[in-house]
Amino acid sequence: MSPCDLTVASDLTVHAEFAKAPMPPESVLLSVIKTGSGTGRVVSNTAGIDCGATCSASLASGTVVTISAQPNAQSSFAGWSGACSGTGQCTLTMSSAATVGAEFRAVPPPPPPVELSVSKTGSGSGRIVSNVGGIDCGSTCGASLTPGTAVSLSAVADTQSRFIGWSGACSGTGSCTVTMNTATAISAEFSANAAVSIRITHVDTKHELLAVAPNGTAYATSNVDSTSKIFASQDNARTWKLVGQHPAGSSFIRMTALADGVLLADVHPKGSAYGTQTVLAQSSDGGATWTDVLTLTPYRTLSPHSFTEAKGIVYLAEYQDFTLADAPINLWTSNDRGATWQILQTFTGHRHAHSVRFDPAAGALWIFFGDWEKQPALVRSVDGGATWTTMLTEERQARVVDAVFTPSGLLYGLDVNPPLPAAILRLASNGIVTRLHELPGPSYSIHEMKGGGYLAGTTREPLDVYPPPGEENAYIFGSADGSTWNEVARYPRLDPNEYATADVYWELPSGEAVIHLFNVDPMTNGAAYQLAVLSRP
């Protein structure tokens, strides 16, 4: 208020008016009550409630207040009662005294973990892995798991071992699944596979064996005579007799024998450089006489499996090495045992065809294309070659030269170079590719023995760098079942500038495998061969 100052010179009357002051707002009480078996705090955004210790506050009527529940460890907030409900934040406008209840419930402590321990027994080796808990035994052979956890274990045998079965809390040979309610022990037994081996029964460094006919007759050229001459053996490739010669002096390079004994040969005309001119010749009298039937130049064949026979039709898939780029590749057919030929199909997008094979069980033709990046492919036809389906692509799994057909799928070695690792693979009917065994070099051949078991060859190509460092051998690998493999023979390379090869394409009536060798010890001139018997455990 301001004072009233007057100078009084005569009578004055002064009036002072007083107004009634407004009353302060009414205070209302907010009370918080905690209930339940658990513990926690209730805090407000205003008025200082922290209950804990301060569980009520007087607030001016009309105040908007928000309170929150904060459960302690081993407790949960169950919800509001009184002036609020639900489990979220509680917001009130205080017009009258209010009471809010907060219920906290005790959360029982988690049960103590139960221990899962795994162990390995037996003469073999392998790994046990789990879907939960991080078991990889290997190195981690146990885990602490929450009771009630369902855990699955898988056993993976190493190379040269096989999984025998589970013991302890599991049995059988499939996946092991247990629900962990108590401490559990499980054991996996692995057994070592006895390695297959070969016994060399004969060595010939004077002949290059080119074909074995279904009747057991073997055909070869001589390393010490003209390669235009053909020699035959009817005593399991022990002795040889001259049976014929190409009429124009052409050199026999590769050959196949059809079911009825007709011979087809890739020949190079006399005086031509290797691979520059190629003619297909036919003999229907056991190699005595020969007729040129098809000019393939500039294409040629790669191996005896550049040919196949299916339901009386002969197929020939072209190979070329005049360019690294894509080239048109013809699939030729003959309906008269190779006397005349027609182009059935021309393929594009590939460098060359490594081989053409027939799967009699499925009635399917296969062609294996090479060579780089997107060029490799495995294609299949079930209608005699009229239409084709691509079954597999990519260099790391589809660069294939040779394969055999097994009940478990297509079995083959990879023809790959560094940095891609070579291996023996299986392509199952469902399209799944499984790497079975790592190889020290690209594989050009694989053969299923009639008495059981498999042999596969590897090559040392003339590259400057080849893993493992210093590797200078061609190899033969063997398997009893197609799944587990081991080395059975190695052959040191002679000329470092040439391919060193060891391949198996044929088997003699004696049950001996023919191992075709080039540029390796024990050969001395040209190609050589060994005969070997496969011994299985």
In whole angstroms, give the CA distance from residue 404 to residue 454: 9
- β-partners of residue 294 are 280
Question: Over its length of 537 residues, how does the chain's per-residue pLDDT go in tens digits?
Answer: 667 777 777 777 777 776 666 666 688 999 999 999 999 999 999 888 999 888 999 988 889 999 999 999 899 999 999 999 999 999 999 899 999 999 999 998 888 999 999 999 887 889 999 999 899 998 789 999 999 999 999 988 887 777 888 999 998 888 899 999 999 999 998 877 768 999 999 999 999 999 999 999 999 999 999 999 999 999 999 999 999 999 999 999 999 999 999 999 999 999 887 778 899 999 999 999 999 999 999 999 999 999 999 999 999 999 999 999 999 999 999 999 999 999 999 999 999 999 999 999 999 999 999 988 899 999 999 999 999 999 999 999 999 999 999 999 999 999 987 778 899 999 999 999 999 998 988 999 999 999 999 999 999 888 644 555 567 889 999 999 999 899 999 999 998 888 899 999 999 999 999 999 999 987 766 799 999 999 977
pTM: 0.67
> What are the backbone angles phi and psi of residue 398, rounded to the nearest 5°?
-125, 10
Positive or negative torsion for Cα 428, 429, 430, 431: positive
Q: Is the peptide bond before 138 cis (omega within 30 degrees of 0)?
A: yes
pLDDT of residue 139: 78
Q: Is the peptide bond before 509 cis (omega within 30 degrees of 0)?
A: no
In whole angstroms, give the CA distance from residue 101 to residue 86: 11
In whole angstroms, give the CA distance from residue 307 to residue 299: 14
CA proximity to 233, closest of 282, 284, 289, 287: 287
pLDDT of residue 309: 97
Q: Dmax of the chain from CA atoms? A: 168
Other Cβ atoms less than 10 A from the Cβ of 115: the count is 14
Question: How is residue 464 written in tokens?
Answer: 């400057």
Q: Are 523 and 205 in contact (CB under 8 A)?
A: yes
CA proximity to 292, closest of 274, 260, 270: 270
Residue with tokens 């296969």: 366
Please, where are the H alpha helices in 347-453? 395-398
pLDDT of residue 470: 67
- β-partners of residue 518 are 501, 527
Question: How is residue 211 written in tokens?
Answer: 């074909």
In whole angstroms, give the CA distance from residue 350 to residue 81: 78
Chain-centroid distance, C-alpha 267: 40
CATH for 207-297 is 2.40.10
Q: Is the peptide bond before 79 cis (omega within 30 degrees of 0)?
A: no
CA proximity to 347, closest of 380, 312, 321: 380
Q: Are 40 and 69 in contact (CB under 8 A)?
A: yes
